[in-house]
Chains A and B, each alone.
Chain A
Amino acid sequence: MTEESTITIEVDGRALKAAPGAMLIDVCDAAGIHIPRFCYHRKLSLSANCRMCLVEVEKVPRPLPACVTPVNDGMKVTTNSPMAVEAQKGAMEFLLINHPLDCPICDQGGECELQDVALGYGSDASRYAEAKRVVADPDIGPLVATDLTRCIHCTRCVRFGAEIAGIRELGATGRGDHMTIGTYVEHAMGSELAGNVIDLCPVGALTSKPFRFQARAWEMVQRDGIAAHDGVGSNVHYHLRRDQILRVHPKDNEAVNECWLSDRDRFSYQALSAADRLLKPLVKQGGEWRETDWQSALEAAAQGLAQARGDDGNQLGGLLSPSASLEELYLAKKLMRGLGSANLDHRLRQADFRGDPPKVPWLGGPIAELEEQDLVVIIGANPRKDQPLLGHRIRKAAMKGAEVVYFNPLKLDLNYRAAQWVANPRDWVLEVANLAKAAGVRKGVVNKIKVADHHKELFKRLKAADKALVLVGDLAMGHPDYGLLRCLAAQVAEAAGARLGFLTPGANGVGAALLGVTPGEGGLDAQAMLAEPRKGYLLLGIDPGFDLENPAQGLNALMKAECVVALSSFRSPDLETVADVILPLAAAPESAGTFFNIEGTQQGFNGAAPPAGEARPGWKILRVLGNLMNLGGFDFNTPLQVRDEALGMLGDAAPDNGFEPDPALELTLPEAELLRIGELPIYSVDPMVRRAPALQATADAQDAAYLRLNPEDAKRLGFTAGDRITVSQPQARKAVFEARPDPAVPQGAVALCTAIPGSQALAGRFGEVTLEKA
């Protein structure tokens, strides 16, 4: 705000500076002058329907709603004059006449905006002597509970759906006081951001289904944290009673998650008390699992690893979750290096490690700048489901007019207008190559193909765009020609003067890359250390049937190993099959740590809840292991000491997408009648998310279980919806899935997700599959 463009208004006798045209309520909020409101929300369009914010403006004979009244110079406002207070009380009385006033049995009780404001503006006796409205409650899915009799019709949820979630799921039907909020035709909300309506609803009409009836607001304490399920690193508040996390709310951070939270980050806490939570150390003795004490377990682990290593550190491999904290990753790396192993990786779902890797892959710029882009080319990703709040930012850009173009092997269900260039998994690489050729790339695979006009035109627009971005995501990383895709994408970005970004895996993919949780000199990457089985493995925070690119190969290698030590928060059949020692690991909300989010922001957090059972924070477990194995430099007393040493090692290393593209890389994915597309579903990304019942009950999770193929292919193969189909892949066991014809899948491809029940038997995320009726 420059001097000339500021005006002065007077509110309750105070002179306030403001930008001309700003809404009165915003100016008052900034000055700490509180005006009651229900419908207004700073992230939503103005609707001015609740009439709670009425104030008196000099020379205006009637009260005006502050949320839609623009300020102008010299305006004199009173928020607490008799006229204003009478008007606010009037609105309050109207809001309460049909409200059930069932605060004692309402989940919102104690944190209800209506209740709070009613204390100030309501009257103690009702003058309303007529029958109250009662509304039937629709079932809108596993996340949000409805009690619409309490609704005050502020339409925040409706506007949220239309403007933020991008799906008009909730709407108001009926007129007058018959107006009700609903989904029109009763169905579940399908948004990945649906839970935000719980925060937006000022009353108890929309509440958290998993949380409801568990605790009162005043019984809980609030602790801060960082969500651990994607690279956004949403800031959260954990709400606990008696040391148990009962719910998760967003904590405002405009640069990161604004005031939103993805459903994944909101409801995954349910896994903390999952039935298969690992509460005690487990050691396998004579093929039997036995619970034991920490000391024995740690000794067994140290001994097992030492034996497997023998005198060759190269016999060990470390597979670390990209969602582990900086502290855990740092100590795990230190341990592996101390044991003389350079075989270390966090890129567990990546299929192809050819070519020079980017130094420290990251988003390429601040999260908030996503919404400022003019053109975004997205290669192999579905940000809406992969990193929902990044998807939200890209949607914002699109709503402001940005062009968004997707290159994917299947069509996505998007909530804004975008171009989707879909081709089967092999042709998809060629599509990207076409764009690279249009960008002037002349070596390698591009030579064999022909550029179409639309590639040339897209490149022209990309080049002309002021702010252009090329994003490469998880689906590309899981492709056996990722090295090539990455190289092509980088060349396109370079030629167009566009920014390049990587949608890196996990909550701490950037931290892992900064630390170098990647193969050292001569070391093996995540694929290689399983393709060439080692004798001993350290697994941190993963379930090998679900978190590896090629679970068949991975489980096989782990099975053969002499010793597998796993740090895990949960038991799992696969872990119990392959591991020898399983050490109970504190989950992210139970431990202090540091994440670098996808834009490179360092965010520290403390343990909000004590670890379940005897679980311990990863840094403590690794510290003792280091000491037991007589490796020096493991004497830490606090996680801060670990963090400081880790940060010291990083020095001023910074995220950097730079690498040397190798245009000579060949296209390796062979042509086949049917090629698999192994998407990573939104509610399968990590062991916690997979154990949150509410998330698993969503349509997103349930739909991921199907084998989807193009209706033409289905017809050709004689499959119909509901058929049980046996899937075979080379070097994998067979597995059976239910068929669902789906035109979103191109011909010649089979969408069959990774990290879903049954997929542990399968091999790589892409590659040939054969199908037959079971």
Chain B
Amino acid sequence: MANEVCLRTLDHDQPWSLEAYRAVGGYEVLKRVLQEKTAPDDIIAEVKKSNLRGRGGAGFPTGVKWGFINRSAPGDRYLVCNSDEGEPGTFKDRDILRYNPHQLIEGMIIAAYTIGAARGYNYIRGEFQEPYERFEAALEEARKEGFLGEDILGSGFDFQLHAHLGAGAYICGEETALLESIEGKKGQPRFKPPFPALFGLYGRPTIINNTESLASIPVILEKGGDWFKDLGVENSGGTKVFSISGNINNPGVFEIPMGTPFKDLLQMAGGMKDGRPIKAVIPGGSSAPVIPGAQMMELTMDYDAIQQAGSMLGSGAVIVLDDTNCMVRVLERMSYFYYEESCGQCTPCREGTGWLYRIVHRIEQGKGRQEDLELLDDITGKIAGRTICALGDAAAGPVQGMLKHFRDEFQYHIDRKRCLVSAGG
């Protein structure tokens, strides 16, 4: 029951090749859509039915997003794929690009057809050299086969698709910063509304989706929205590509149905390293608030279950911590990330992320003050919900989660000026 959607070529030799993709039925959906000239509204209806929610982190229903595009308005439209994948812990899109690039390409062509875009970009994280090359090679093959370019398969539909390599800024994964970056500007999020569907790349209506979201499309249209939905659970259709890392034996990427119990996923990943007790799990990328290990062992991996536990499924990046991990150090590292990656344009994030980091750093260095924990609570409250983009929330979430579940450990650092974990507590 694994690898049924985005990673379905994985069993094949050279899974990234056109041959491997053909062997699993690749590009057949595209052919059918173009031959039958399937009505875009029918495609959108099918995607809505599938319950596919955006895999970039926010979980917004993909079909609904596509429906925002007004196809009858004149002028250019764009399709953009977000392969920036910068959230610590997340490395699933990398494997889709590496092992099944053609499926992403097919998904993008179908999406472009649906929204009426003649040009598309795939924005790939700057450090992804190998995946970028695989994707470029696949593009070349697809062009040769006539799947891209002008008058695709004689249908009259034109679509040019280009890869765009980023330059190492996490913020360029935020969709509007990504668009600015493609436009050649400094990657800074735009204020929304207007949303990209109205005012996107070069000011034109644009659909931007995550790699996994787009790569799911061919299978959804091949096997039907209902089939996909039924793979998962209520409110979380389909399978999900989880990237699991941390103190486990077999970190990696696993495509499994939504709603799979966490403990099964942990088992697939080889269980805890050295058999140590699970201390905590960050279930959806570093911005997701941490969940204590015991609680996590009872949860299933789907949007609702994780949300009810006070965190979020996010991009499906699962970071597992054991009892050797000091939570202060973990938070210090994460806060440093958001501090470094804040784009700097809006006040609460620019100033707040640095403040958060400096306090946590001080606590970790044994220089914490009694008022620090309350200050941290207060600062996160003044960042979250008040910034231009969600990076502010992403920086606040981990702090809030840690203080909620592991406050004692922080208090210990402040009181004793040393670490509870290394002290053997």
The chain A residues found within 8 Å of chain B, CB to CB, are 46-52, 54, 61-63, 65, 68, 87, 90-91, 93-95, 97-98, 127-131, 152-153, 155, 171-179
Contacts and interface: CB of A to CB of B under 8 A. Distances in A.
B355 A97 contact: yes
Given A130-B358, A130-B359, A175-B169, A153 B344 contact: yes
Contacts of B126: none
Nearest to A175: B344
Interface stretch (B155-163, B207-215, B383-391): B383-391
A179 B388 contact: no
Contacts, number: 99
Nearest to A96: B351
Given A90-B386, A176-B341, A153 B355 contact: no
Contacts of B388: 48-49
Residue among A52, A174, A176 with the most chain B CB within 10 A? A176
Given A62-B385, A87-B386, A93-B382, A48 B346 contact: yes
B387 A51 contact: yes
A709 to B, nearest CB: 36
A83 to B, nearest CB: 11
Contacts of A93: 382
A51 B386 contact: yes
Nearest to A93: B382
Contacts of A173: 186
A177 B342 CA distance: 8
A49 B186 CA distance: 15
Contacts of A179: 343-345, 350
B369 A46 contact: no
Contact of B344 (A51, A131, A171, A174): A174
B351 A49 contact: no
B369 A172 contact: no
Given A62-B386, A94-B348, A153-B344, A176 B191 contact: no
A177 B347 contact: no
Contacts of B375: 127
Contacts of A91: 347-348, 382, 386
A414 B45 CA distance: 52
Contacts of A172: 186, 344-345
B96 interface: no
B353 to A, nearest CB: 6
17 contacts: A47-B345, A49-B345, A51-B347, A51-B348, A94-B350, A97-B355, A98-B354, A130-B355, A130-B359, A130-B362, A152-B347, A153-B345, A153-B350, A173-B186, A175-B340, A176-B344, A179-B343
Q: How large is the interface on B (under 10, 10 to 19, 20 to 34, 35 or more residues)?
A: 20 to 34
Interface in B311-364: 339-348, 350-355, 358-359, 362
B339 A176 contact: yes
Contacts of A62: 385-386
A449 B144 CA distance: 56
A98 B351 contact: yes
Contacts of B371: 127
Contacts of B347: 49-52, 91, 94-95, 152-153
Contacts of A90: 348, 382, 386
Contact of B352 (A47, A94, A131): A94
Interface string B240-257: 000000000000000000
Given A62-B386, A93-B382, A178-B344, 11 more contacts: A46-B191, A49-B345, A91-B348, A91-B386, A94-B351, A95-B347, A97-B355, A131-B358, A153-B344, A153-B345, A179-B343
B344 A95 contact: no
Main secondary structure of the interface of B (DSSP, over half): helix
Interface in B367-393: 369, 371, 375, 382, 385-388
A179 B352 CA distance: 14
A95 B387 CA distance: 14
Contacts of B171: 175
Residue among A47, A127, A175 with the most chain B CB within 10 A? A175
A98 to B, nearest CB: 6
A160 B99 CA distance: 47
A94 B191 contact: no
A765 B354 CA distance: 60
Contacts of B350: 94, 153, 176-177, 179
4 residue pairs, one from A and one from B, having the closest CB atoms: A179-B344, A90-B382, A94-B351, A176-B342
A54 B387 CA distance: 11
A50 B386 CA distance: 10
A153 B354 CA distance: 15
Contact of A63 (B351, B354, B386): B386
Contacts of B386: 51, 54, 62-63, 87, 90-91
Nearest to B186: A172
Contacts of A153: 344-345, 347, 350
B12 to A, nearest CB: 42
Contacts of A47: 191, 345
Contacts of B341: 175-176
A177 B351 contact: yes
Contacts of B191: 46-48, 65, 68
B345 A51 contact: no
B382 A94 contact: yes
A179 B343 CA distance: 8
A35 to B, nearest CB: 15
Given A48-B191, A127-B375, A153-B345, A177 B354 contact: yes
B348 A176 contact: no
Contacts of A98: 351, 354
Contact of B346 (A51, A171, A178): A51
Given A49-B388, A51-B348, A51-B387, A175 B359 contact: no
Contacts of B346: 48-51
Contacts of A87: 382, 386
A81 B340 CA distance: 34
Nearest to B386: A51
A49 B350 CA distance: 10
Contact of B340 (A95, A128, A176): A176
A55 to B, nearest CB: 12
Nearest to B338: A176
Nearest to B342: A176
Contacts of B344: 153, 172, 174-179
A441 B339 CA distance: 69
Given A54-B386, A87-B386, A128 B345 contact: no
A174 B348 CA distance: 17
Given A54-B386, A87-B386, A95 B351 contact: yes
A384 B348 CA distance: 39
Contacts of B387: 51
A82 to B, nearest CB: 13
B320 to A, nearest CB: 29
A449 to B, nearest CB: 43
A646 to B, nearest CB: 53
Contacts of A65: 191
A21 to B, nearest CB: 12
B415 to A, nearest CB: 18
Nearest to A51: B347
B188 to A, nearest CB: 8
A51 B385 CA distance: 11
A50 B369 CA distance: 29
